[in-house]
Amino acid sequence: MLIFLAAIVWLSANAASLPPDNSTSATPPPDAETQIINEVEDAIQAAIRQDRGASIAFFAGGVTIQNTQVSESGEWAVSYLIPTDPQTGEPVPTEPGLTVAQQTRGEWDVWLPTSEGWSDMLTETPEDILSFDQKAMWLTQYNEAAVNVPSATLRGYLLPWDDGITRYLSTSVCHDSYITSGNAHYAYDFYTSKTMWDILAIKGGTVQIARWSVPNGDDTDMGNYIVIRDITTSPVTYHLYMHLAQDSIPPELRLNGAPVVQGQFLGIADDTGASTGHHLHLQVQVPLYGENYYWGRSVDFAFNDVDINQGHPRINASYCHDPLYCKAGDICDTFRSSYTSQNIRIGTEDNTPPEGDLRNPLTGETYAATLPLEAWARDLGDPGKNPVGIESARFIAYYNGAWREVGPAFTSENFNYEWDWCAAGVPEGPVSVALRLRDFRGNQTPGLPGLRHVTKHYDCNAQPIPNTCRPTSSQVALFSEINFQGVCQTLGLGDYASGSLFGPVGNDGTYSILVGSGVQAELFTDNNFTGRTETIRANDANLGENPTASGTLSSLKVSTRTTGFTANPQTEPGSGLVNRNPSPSTVNTVNAPYFDDFESDSSSWTTTNILWNVSEAQANSPTHSWRYGFDATNNYNDGTANSGSLTSPLINLPVSASPYVLEFRYRYQTESRYAHWDQRWVQISVDGGQFLNAYQLSSDPMSGWMKARIELLPMLGDMGFEHTLQVRFNFRTLDSRNNNFEGWFIDNFQVQAEPITACPTDNNEVNDAPAQATAITYGSTLHAAICPDWDVDYYKFNGSAGDQILVDIDAKSQGSELDGYLFLLDSDGTSELAESDDEVAYELQDPLLGYVLTRDGQYHLKMQAWDFPSGTGEYTLTLITESQNPSIHLTYPQENGGLRRGLVTLTAEASDPTSGIHAVRFWFHTDDWLSSDWVELPVDIDGTDGWSAPLDTSGFAEGDTLSVYVRAFDGAGNWAYAAAWQVVIDSKAPTISLSPLTNPSNSTALQLKWQASDVGTGVDYVVVESKVNNGAWETAGEEAVFRDYWFVGAPGNSYAFRATVYDRAGNSATSTTVNSSIPVINTLCSAPDAWDASAADNDNDYQNATLIAAGFEPQEHNFCNPAADDRLRDVDWLKFMAEGGKKYVFVANPAGSSAGVVIRLYAANGTTLLAESSPPRFGQPTTLSWESALNATLYVKLEHVNGSVAGNGVSYRVSLADEIVYLPLINR
């Protein structure tokens, strides 16, 4: 960026010594606009001179003011500051600076880019001189947002021009003189004077975004640029090349995702956009926010072909003095302006990336604690050129929203790695794995070679503490997660002055601690044993509620255990103002009932700190409340450990038959809701006595208005006498840190007499503390209540490691007013292991808590109202243990199926035998696995209409692929999943045509044949519909395998048919209608076979069976029953003489008809079934083989597989063949 401070100093140092203008020739007066421009530029020069104190005196460069534009109103102007080389007088090839000027009271006020308030004035500049997009461009460059950057210098880059050519550096770290945000600190401006030149890729990647349409000389725009995405770094980085010539970016690189290799031609260096000459602005960056890839925070990178400063070009010129702007960690030992490239353009060396694939895992597999990875990779190189070999082959995985490298880099052709998912912090659910391959030329395989998708189904946090994390009696163990999970570090006796001594847990990384039996741990929140402190002698599974909370431990002392008790400092208000008696001479008096909403005079209330004030920032009703905090800064941070009290007037309480109640509304936001941090106390003075602590507000929800109610009877005693009352609200920060929060608001204060509020029946009371906890066991169901005024219920139970528990609270679902909040606590009764508010947020407002116990022992449950301390109501608590996972499968889309375009409904079937299905969650993923994440759809919590979720696929193109992932959860938190990977977007309907039917039919069975096809996902199934005698359409049947369907009708009816085909995406098409009729039965069966002459002469029973012999001509029969009026359910009996040792084969072959013959073989008595065989479907032959063990007369019964099929045409041929069975020869 522009290094304009040099110009500022040059003007400052030389303006007074400029030679006087001795010209005596008259010049014409300027026009009005020119006069304004002259005034603006004079004001800018004056501003530069005034900025002299911020300038660096040894700069000797110059600056030119150009392109001044004045708004239509004449009250605003913007100008470019162009740096110039004092030796050549030419503009320095870089980006200009922008000044903003505003005319007030007849004078121009100027904001230089280094001026305070420059960005605010830029925002207010009228758009007729600075468009919205231009403002966004300038403001983005100055954005100081915190972002995630690489932890070390990135390497492997080459200078961005051809091998052997020398070009020049105009700007390096001295970008900071203008871009004060530091966003361009690691950027470089390269140039050759007044020359356009080819730009080569400094490293490989893929195109993220490109712009090529801005013409040369258009400085009102950000210009042409190309951004290359590089996923080989962590985090992912982007290479920004700016000021490219119009249309110079090759067409193939104008597409998102286009692959780029090192040395590839990207475009031509020009001066499009805000530029002062032909040059390339180059930086490697991370986005500042969202998906803004044009401009980001530059990160440190080094060139392999730069031989100074470990690859960092630096310059020390009159217009750019890098030494001044080198930060700690920057390498600025050597300076020069010229640099020669070793970047070889594509086409002169091997530019073919390596290839490789994963052997394991396979998509769709499920794994537990580790994932075995196995792959191969090789570098073949370009044809005719020697491959350079594999420089790096790595496994990568996508989880927690980013691609991450897994394990070490490999160089061998075959490699494998056992990936510990728990150590890597991989969450349960889908994980994608692939390869990242690069050869020594820097060619990187595009895309995600070997891409696979698997599921992690293993709860790392539910595992026992490993032995390496168990302290001895003289050690403590620190853990990076609650409940002794995550990474750990054991520490022996000694003093540890900083978190750098805590191993992998690190500074501010401790969330739970195990303490050996012979030691104690003194914890400190700051280095060198300072800050908040406490001494711990017992294991603590969650430090969150401690004075040294989770994530704050910075130093530690481990010492031999003592028996004394060390109190935590400042856990309650001490003496002084807090307990001081009221002064009767200065206290205002009011009478109960008393109400104050602080909307009018609040002078009767007294305060001890200016932080207590009547505020309009928040109010319960209507517009004012008392606040502890500054309205101007919206916090209570005054740089000190502060405290203050708000005290009510003296309230006279007359004799009353009902007890008095204090009620007020409050809202707060502080550093923590726990008791040991910023504290909120309600203190009460009765009858002029000392103020005593009544209640400490803690463990209540932040940032919402709550109601507190306090029964005063226990404090007042006998209500047969008059009393006086004062209420004090005391706030204490305890320290000067973390005070940038809203503070405490009090509103709608009220004291009045009310009838005693009855508590619902609760046989478990009193159980208001861990020591009073009600004992329960697995399988317990009990009824209880949260009473008005500060009630909390505790329960305790014993569990074993590995128990999957489910605690189910039913309150609102049973009509109770209680909005419950449930906590699972460790054996100490305070360390929170898990919590549950709503079963489904804002919908099912009863807690449902599932958890896997990690060790044997006692655990506690804490039940309170969400709106504690005022919430109340009855509830039912159930505790069970359940370890069986539910079951689920996707019904739409199918695996290897598709999805229609438009609004579709994803569906699944799920079940659970114990606690039932609690919720089913659906996700989808586009085919962009490189840069997109899973998208969750609305959760389904009501399975009465099936489990489903809507998905709009209208934004996807035909042939795109999506993946669908679904998880079913039972009440205990167990889960199962199903997935459909890479299903195709298919909006094209299939086609189907029905073949014409014979009309009239010679059978009651009609064979519907069709031709169906689908060019997308393929045919899934066909549904056949029929209607009889012009009636309504009815579903006749469904076929998924064959291309025909047999329909059985009734004689004397006419039929119409149509068929609907469905593809695997759910698209459908319906055929045209075909028709046929079935004659009346006497016509249909007018020609029965020769063995069914009449009702009296037929073969319908075995006594009248027809003789058949092996090897003779087949007999031809049909199914027309002469013994029945409807001619249906015909039976044909045969008999034959069987010989022992022979094998017989019966074949019933339909004569091109609708026959489907069942063959049953009976013994000589005609009733004992020996064997049977059925056809696969109508029109298919039937075969029955039988080996006879003796000589006998056997019987064969032949009947249609469907007795309602009849007709002259329902014919078949039956034959018998014999085969001699030869027994093996046995030598005796």
Cα–Cα distance measured from residue 486 to residue 804, given in angstroms and rounded to the nearest whole number: 20
pLDDT of residue 331: 94
* Domain 156-340 classification at class level: mainly beta
Alpha helices in 348-446 (DSSP H): 421-424
Q: Which CATH entry fits the domain spanning 991-1079: 1.10.1760.20, 3.40.640.10, 2.60.40.10, 2.60.40.420?
A: 2.60.40.10
Q: What confidence tens digit (pLDDT) does each residue in 590-646 have?
A: 999 999 999 988 889 999 999 999 999 999 988 999 999 999 999 999 999 999 999
How confident is the model over 572-582, as a mean pLDDT?
Answer: 41
Q: What is the mean pLDDT of the chain?
A: 86
Q: What is the C-alpha separation between 1047 and 1005, in angstroms, rounded?
A: 5
Task: Please tell me the predicted confidence (pLDDT) of residue 824.
Answer: 93
User: What is the predicted pLDDT for the residue at 336?
Assistant: 93
Residue 670 CA to residue 549 CA, distance in Å, equals 14
Which CATH fold topology does 580-753 show?
Jelly Rolls (2.60.120)
What is the reported pLDDT for 571? Answer: 42
Superfamily of domain 468-560: Crystallins (2.60.20.10)
- Which pLDDT score is estimated for 289? 55
1028 preceded by cis ω (within 30°)?
no
Given pLDDT bands bounded at 50, 70 and 90, which one contains residue 1205? Answer: very high
Where along the chain do its domains lie? 5-18+28-130, 156-340, 355-458, 468-560, 580-753, 770-881, 887-985, 991-1079, 1085-1220
Q: Is the model more confident about 1138 or about 567? A: 1138
| Secondary structure (3-state) at 54 | helix
Q: State the architecture of 1085-1220 in CATH terms.
A: Sandwich (2.60)
Whole-prediction pTM value?
A: 0.62
Peptide bond before 30: cis, by omega within 30 degrees of 0? no
pLDDT digits (tens, 9 = 90+) for 1152-1181: 789 999 999 999 999 999 999 999 999 999
pLDDT digits (tens, 9 = 90+) for 63-87: 778 888 899 888 999 988 877 665 5
The pLDDT of residue 196 is above 70: yes
CA nearest 787: which of 809, 813, 773, 766? 766
Q: Which CATH architecture has domain 355-458?
A: Sandwich (2.60)
- pLDDT grade, residue 1 (50/70/90)? very low
Instruction: Give residues with Cβ within 8 angstroms of 1046, minimum separation 6.
Output: 1005, 1006, 1007, 1008, 1154, 1177, 1178, 1179
Going through 443-529 in order, the beta strands assigned E by DSSP cover 452-456, 475-481, 485-492, 494-496, 512-515, 519-526
Does domain 887-985 sit in CATH 2.60.40.10? yes
Does the domain made of 770-881 have the CATH classification 1.10.260.40? no
Residues 6+ apart with CB under 8 A from 601: none
Of the chain, the percentage scoring pLDDT greater than 70 comes to 90
Report the range out of 319-323, 752-756, 1126-1130, 1216-1220 with the highest average pLDDT: 1126-1130
Which stretches does DSSP call E strand in 223-367?
A: 224-230, 237-244, 259-260, 265-269, 280-287, 296-298, 301-303, 316-317, 320-321, 338-340, 355-360, 366-367
Mean pLDDT of 137-166: 82
Asked if 468-560 and 887-985 have one fold, the answer is no
How does pLDDT run across 1114-1124, given as a tens digit for each residue?
A: 999 999 999 99
pLDDT at 493: 95
**pLDDT confidence band for 88 (50 / 70 / 90):** low
What's the pLDDT score for residue 294?
A: 72
C-alpha to C-alpha distance for 556 and 491, rounded to whole angstroms: 10
- pLDDT tens digits for range 780-795: 999 999 887 788 999 9
Identify the CA nearest to 160 among candidates 263, 257, 244: 263
Name the pLDDT band for 584 (thresholds 50, 70, 90): very low
Average pLDDT over residues 487-502: 93
Dihedral sign computed on CA atoms, order 611, 614, 616, 622: positive
For 734, the token pair is: 């305890």
pLDDT per residue as tens digits for the range 397-434: 999 988 999 999 999 999 999 999 988 889 999 999 99
Helix, strand, or coil here: 715?
A: helix
Mean pLDDT value of segment 869-873: 83
Q: What is the pLDDT of residues 366-387, one digit of tens each?
A: 999 899 999 999 988 766 565 6
Q: What is the pLDDT of residues 6-58, one digit of tens each?
A: 333 333 333 333 333 433 344 455 677 788 888 898 888 888 766 543 333 22
Nearest residue to 924 via CA among 889, 953, 945: 953
